[in-house]
Chains A and B, each alone.
Chain A
Amino acid sequence: MGMSHSRVMKLVGRTGFYLALIASSIAMLVPFYWMLSTSFKLEGDVFAYPPEWIPQPATLLHYIEVWTSLPFARFLFNSVFVAAMVTFSNVFFCTLAGYAFGKLRFPGREKMFFLLLMTLMVPFQVNLIPLYKLMDLFKWIDTYWALIVPGATSAFGIYLMRQYILSIPDEILDSARVDGCSEFGIFWRIVAPLSLPGVATLAIFTFMGSWTSFLWPMIITSSMNMRTLPVGIALLQEYHTTNWTQTMAGSTIAALPMIIVFLFMQRQFIEGLTAGAVKR
C-alpha cells in the first residue's frame, strides 16, 4: 500500500526545499573553501584547468612562506593588540558613560546625550584628513597611539550600554545608596556585573570592527612593522600579484579568528545584532 498523493507531494516539496537550502549554503561557502584549498596548492595549480577541487599535491609550504616574505607575525600581533586595546577601552568608557547617561542625574545630561547621538550621523571619512593632520601634530603617525586612541570610545557603544543599563531596576541602586555604598562601589559591584551581556555584545562588535578595519590603518601606518592584517593582505597582493597561494594562506590566517569567535559565540552575536531591530 503506497502513500497518498498529497503525502508524496509534501515529501517532494520538503526535499526540494532542503535541497535548495543546502545548495545555496554550499554556494555561500565555496569561496571560503576555495581560499582554503588554494592555500595548500602548488603555485602552478592555482589556475589549473579544470580547477583542482582537492589540491594534489598538497603542501604546507605557503603557511611557512607567508611568515617570512612579509612580517606577517607582526601584522597578526598588531591586529590582535590594537583590537584588544580598542575593545577594552571601549568597554571601559562606554559602560561608565552609559551608566552615567542612563542612571545618574546631572545638568546637561539630555543635551549631551543628544549631541553624542548626532555624531553617529557623521561618516568617518569626513574626519579622515583632519585626524591624519592631528596624528601628524601629536607625532603619532605610524604608532599604536594612532591606531588605538581615536577609536577608544564610540557613541554607539555608549548608546548600547545605556540601553542595557536602563533595564536595571532603580530600587537596587537606591537601596545600595541608602546602605551607604559609594557611587564607585555601586558601579563596580552592581551595575558592572548586571550589564555583562551588554558588555559581551559590545566587546564582540568592537573587536570585529577593529579587526576588519582597513582605510584608517592603511593611511596612518607607513612602516611594515606597524601594519595590521587587512593592510598586510592588501600589500601581499600588490607585491605578489601572482602569488595567490601565499595570499590565500595569509587570508586564511586573517579570517580564522573571527570565524572561530563567531562559531563559539553565535548566540551573543545574533542576539546583539537583533536586539535593536526587533521590538519585544
Chain B
Amino acid sequence: MEISIGRQIGLAIRKYYIAYLFILGPVVLTTIFLFIPMISSFAFSLTEWSGIQPPEFVGLANYQRLIFHDRKFIKSFINTTIFVILGQGSGPVFGLLSALALNQRVKFRAAFRTAYFLPVMTSLVVVATIWKMLYNESGLVNFLLKTVGLPTTRWLMNPSTALLSIIVTSVWQGFGFETVIFLAALQAIPKELYEAAMIDGANAWNRFWHVTLPSLRPVIVMIYIIGIIGTYQVFDQIYVMTAGGPLYNSQSIVGYLYENFHYMKFGYASAVAYILFAILALFSYLQMRFLGREE
C-alpha cells in the first residue's frame, strides 16, 4: 500500500518533531534573512531601481556597465585587489615571524601575544579613528618620520599614499590573528620530526624549510583563503579614514556598493554585490580544491 507524500511528511514530523523543533529557529531565520534576500538581491541586480519608482528590468545591463564602462567601479576593484595582495602578502608573514619568535623558549609569552593581539580585539572603526589622528599632517607618524629624516606627506589626503596608509593600518590591526593561529599550529608540530631532522644533520634553515613549513601548509592555506575573502570585503576603515577618496583612490568594492546604496541606486548596487559574491565564490572554490588535495 502506497503512502502519499503528505502522509509521509506528517508521519516524519510526528516521529522526529523534537529534532525539527530544535532546528526550527535557525531554519526560519535563515530562510527569511538569508535565502530570500540572496535571491532577491540577484533579481534586483537585473533592474534599474531608484527606490521611488518601481524597478525596471534591464537584464545584464548593470553588470555590463560595471565591468566595462564604470571607471569608479574598476578603480574600486583594482584598489581592493591591491589591498588584498599587499595586505595578505605582509600580514600572514608578520604573523608567522612573530609566531616563530614566540615559539622559542620565551618568558612572558602571553604578554607579548597580548600586545600583538589587542588590535584584533578592537573595532575597525576605533582603529581607523586612532590612525586617522596618527596620520594627520602634524601627527605622530610624520613626527617620527621627520626625526629619522624620512619624507613626510599628508598620508590620507595624498592620492598616491591614501590606500597604502590604510593598508598599513589594517595590517597592524590584523596580523595578531595570524600570530595566534600560527603559534598554536607551531606548538602542535611533533618534536620528533625536528629531532629526526637534526639527527640527519639538518641546520636551522633546513629544519624550517623541510619540517616547519610543510607541517604548516594546511594552516597557511586556510589563513590565506580566510584572509583573501575577508579582505575583499574591506569597508569600515576606508569609510572612516578617507571615505574612499581622494578621487576614489582608496575606494573599495563594498565602499562603492555603499555609495550606490546611499544614492538609492539599488539595482546597480545589487550588481556590485553580486560581482563581489562571484569573486569570493571563486576563492572559496579554490580553497576547496587546494584543501581537498591535502587529504
CB proximity of A2 to chain B, nearest CB, Å:
25
The answer to whether B26 and A94 touch across the interface, beta carbons within 8 angstroms, is yes
CB proximity of B106 to chain A, nearest CB, Å:
7
The answer to whether B133 and A278 touch across the interface, beta carbons within 8 angstroms, is no
B160 CB within 8 Å of chain A: no
Task: State the interface size on chain B (CB cutoff 8 A).
Answer: 87
The answer to whether B25 and A125 touch across the interface, beta carbons within 8 angstroms, is no
| Residues in chain A near residue B176, CB distance under 8 A | 28
| Chain B, residue nearest A273 (CB) | B180
The answer to whether B130 and A280 touch across the interface, beta carbons within 8 angstroms, is no
Q: What is the interface of chain B mostly: helix, strand, loop, or mixed? A: helix
| Residues in chain A near residue B19, CB distance under 8 A | 100, 104-106, 109
CB proximity of B210 to chain A, nearest CB, Å:
20
CB proximity of B8 to chain A, nearest CB, Å:
9
The answer to whether B254 and A130 touch across the interface, beta carbons within 8 angstroms, is no
Mark the stretch among B66-74, B84-92, B199-207, B277-285 that contacts chain A: B277-285
Q: Which of B21-78 contact A (CB under 8 A)?
A: 22-23, 25-27, 29-30, 32-38, 40-41, 44
CB proximity of B131 to chain A, nearest CB, Å:
7
CA distance A153 to B131 in the complex (A): 33
Is the interface on chain A under 10, 10 to 19, 20 to 34, or 35 or more residues? Answer: 35 or more
CB proximity of B89 to chain A, nearest CB, Å:
19
Residue of B101, B124, B140, B218 touching A21 (CB-CB under 8 A):
B101
Q: Which residues of B contact A (CB under 8 A)?
A: 12, 16, 18-20, 22-23, 25-27, 29-30, 32-38, 40-41, 44, 98, 101-102, 104, 106, 110-119, 121-127, 129-134, 136, 138-140, 143, 172, 176-177, 180-181, 184-185, 188, 218-219, 222-223, 229, 233, 235-236, 239-240, 254, 257-258, 261, 266, 269-270, 273-274, 276-277, 280-281, 284
> Can you name 20 A-B residue pairings with CB atoms under 8 Å?
A21-B101, A28-B115, A28-B118, A30-B140, A49-B143, A106-B20, A107-B16, A121-B280, A126-B273, A129-B266, A130-B41, A153-B26, A214-B125, A219-B258, A234-B129, A234-B239, A248-B129, A251-B126, A261-B121, A270-B180
